[in-house]
Amino acid sequence: MIVELSVHPIRRSDLITPDAIRLEPPVPIKQYRDGFGNICQVTKAPKGEITMFSDFLIEDSGKPDEIAPDIVDHALEKLPVETLVYLLGSRYCETDRLSEFAWARFGTFPKGGALVQAICDFVHQEVTFGYEHASVARTAFDTFKERRGVCRDFAHLASRSAAA
């Protein structure tokens, strides 16, 4: 298994208590950083049940992310090629299934900050957050249809609506 349960290194200084993952039963675990700097844990899960958990406190202002209305949209051909991977669909983000809605709902918005904000507002107004809605199989389209999810689902739906 490869899991990401640790606080991102840029937030380590905000930890009030240690961020330590524990496994029951105890099994060896290795760590590495992925291409985004996330700390990933790798372990071979034994047969039967395994529980992974971490319990820590982190200091956070609770303020929403800064809004950047002046951001600009860049033409695809002007983007650095290493950034294009972020525009691809995936098993969780089905651009083909969301394109028609995205163009109908957001196609008239000016490109840039206003469009990004409109997409984020839609997701936050239309999707109910709840840990009880977590599902390893939920896709952006499922989140759109069901109007419920967790943070990953919010991010997938917003990113696919923007990419569509």
Checking if the pLDDT of 164 tops 80, the result is: no
Q: Are residues 33 and 104 in the same domain?
A: no
The model's pTM is 0.68
- Identify whether 104 is part of a domain: yes
Q: Are residues 14 and 49 in the same domain?
A: yes
- Identify whether 33 is part of a domain: yes
pLDDT in tens, 14-68: 999 999 888 999 999 999 999 889 999 999 999 999 998 888 999 999 998 787 7
Q: Are residues 35 and 93 in the same domain?
A: no
Question: Which pLDDT belongs to residue 70?
Answer: 84
**Domain at 94, CATH number:** 3.10.620.30
Q: Are 122 and 104 in contact (CB under 8 A)?
A: no
CA–CA separation, 48 and 90 (whole Å): 30
Domain that holds residue 105: 76-163
∠ CA 128-112-98, nearest 5°, is 45
pLDDT in tens, 55-65: 899 999 999 87
For the chain, the C-alpha Rg in angstroms (whole number) is 19
